[in-house]
Amino acid sequence: MNLTKLPGTMTINTEDHLTIGGIDTVLLADKYQTPLFVYDIALIRERCREFKETFERKQINAQVAYASKAFSCLAIYQLMAQEGMSLDVVSGGELYTAIQAGFPSEKIHFHGNNKTMTEINAALDYQIGCFVVDNFNELNLLNQLASKKEVIVKILLRVTPGVEAHTHNYISTGQEDSKFGFDLMNGQAEQAAIQAIEMSNVDLIGLHSHIGSQIFESDGFLMAIDKLLSKTIDWQNTFGFKLSVLNLGGGFGIRYTEEDQPLAIPELMESIIDEVILKTTELGVEMPEIWLEPGRSLVGDAGTTLYETGSQKEVPNVRNYLAVDGGMSDNIRPALYDAKYTGVLANRVTEQPTETYSIAGKCCESGDMLIWDLPLPKVQEANILAVFSTGAYGYSMASNYNRIPRPAVVFVENSTDFLAIRRETYVDVMQLDIPFPTE
Ligand SMILES: *Cc1c(COP(=O)(O)O)cnc(C)c1O
């Protein structure tokens, strides 16, 4: 970790401890115990503003929706509402939490490839702003349910434009093998648009595409924009389709380790915006609103996990394992995606590394590893290990595997700490269990 480029409000204090939001993380670990997720709220606010201000500067009508699957809880929804964001939810549970948080329902967008009747009815009752319709079953069901409630709902069609974006490259495919959305190239999307326009209780306002995640460059987005706008002009001419909203999804990359060099958000956004302006002008399509749906890039590097180090195992001439008091139960990404992280000892940040440790979780899986080959100073007793950039898809994918209680989540800002999610207890972990009947 390049300690001169720490994200957000992170600093190193005179005791050589890592601080976040003006608070010593060693004190946080002591106060709230470990594992502990610590969120740098000022950094999240800064990221939200970066997105919104870039649109404002370029004078584009826009919505920036926080893709809340990255990290969802009451307090983060309230923070996003404060920042004037819109919100993506993908399930009844996320929707319920957002409503409980007082999130303005007209700014909620409902995603998902298998929305149930119950979920759709709930969303209709809450009068959410928009449904992102994924498939024909949903289109028909939504129209039917909206008709029963005598409402007309705004929809976008989720389309797969045949662009697959990865961190450093993108692939253009004629047809996309994905469980999500209507295929743009084989005529499905067109069929869906024609049907939607004919339906009485849905109002088709535009198209949505989400091409991937942890994307560092703009090429994939530009390619998707070209494909979507070319179809738009065809459809406009043949059946009167009007694109009021172009939703380009999320996927903006963040820095997990030194190797990651994502484009800055304003830079990436500018090339996206410029391409939409260029293409619409060229084709004679009216300039639509642009919607984006960042998840990881809003909360990812604002999150840090603090663990306490525990046992060690030396495999002579191979490696040294250093275990921590969490693992795949609070961060499954290394096991699931081979995701890379880095970290430091929060209580000895700048001390010269003399050892190389592979950081193991405490779950009963050989794959439960958090970081391979991390240079650290020699660890002899319990230390606090800070793992960086764990704010997205960490807590939200946490589980009770091995009946490990899920960690606490604390928000820090301006030297104040706020417990956003309390640590689970063994009682919490057991609370759904029903004892086996005895004779
Ligand atoms: C997951 C997802 C996002 C957010 O992706 P990030 O990589 O976290 O920015 C946005 N839109 C849709 C439809 C998604 O599925």
Mind listing the pLDDT tens digit for each residue in 298-356?
A: 999 999 999 999 999 999 999 999 999 999 999 999 999 899 999 999 999 999 999 99
175/291 same-domain check: yes
| CA–CA distances in Å: residue 338 to residues 258, 273, 277, 330, 345 | 16, 33, 38, 15, 22
Atom of ligand 1 nearest to the CA of 65: 10
Q: Is 319 annotated as a binding residue?
A: no
Rounded to 5°, angle at Cα 216 from 221 and 300: 110
Pocket test for ligand 1, best of 157, 213, 247 (most atoms within 8 A of CB): 213
Classify residue 230: in a domain, yes or no: yes
Q: Is 73 a catalytic residue?
A: no
- Which of 250, 274, 296 is the C-terminal boundary of a domain? 296
* Atom 3 in ligand 1: residue holding the nearest Cα: 250
**48, 130, 363, 364: which one is catalytic?**
364
Q: Is 45 annotated as a binding residue?
A: no
Q: Is 77 annotated as a binding residue?
A: no
Classify residue 88: in a domain, yes or no: yes
pLDDT (0 to 100) of residue 196: 98
The residue ranges of the chain whose pLDDT is under 50 are none
What is the rounded distance in angstroms from the CA atom of residue 161 to the CA atom of residue 187?
11
**What is the domain range of residue 200?**
41-296
Helix (H), strand (E) at residue 314: strand 303-315
- Which of 278, 296, 314 is the C-terminal boundary of a domain? 296
Classify residue 437: in a domain, yes or no: no
| Helix, strand or coil, per DSSP, at residue 407 | coil
pLDDT (0 to 100) of residue 226: 97
Say if CB 211 and CB 161 are below 8 A apart: yes
pLDDT (0 to 100) of residue 178: 83
* Entry pTM: 0.96
264/336 same-domain check: no
Among candidate residues 327, 331, 232, 335, the one with its CA nearest the CA of residue 288: 232
Backbone angles phi, psi at 277, to 5 degrees: -60, -50
CA of 317 to the centre of ligand 1 (A): 42
What is the rounded distance in angstroms from the CA atom of residue 5 to the CA atom of residue 10?
9
Mind listing the pLDDT tens digit for each residue in 171-192?
A: 665 567 788 999 999 999 999 9
Q: Is 393 annotated as a binding residue?
A: yes
pLDDT (0 to 100) of residue 171: 64
* Ligand 1 contacts CB of residue 86 (under 6 A): no
* Ligand 1 contacts CB of residue 251 (under 6 A): yes
134/28 same-domain check: no
The answer to whether the peptide bond before residue 35 is cis (omega within 30 degrees of 0) is: yes
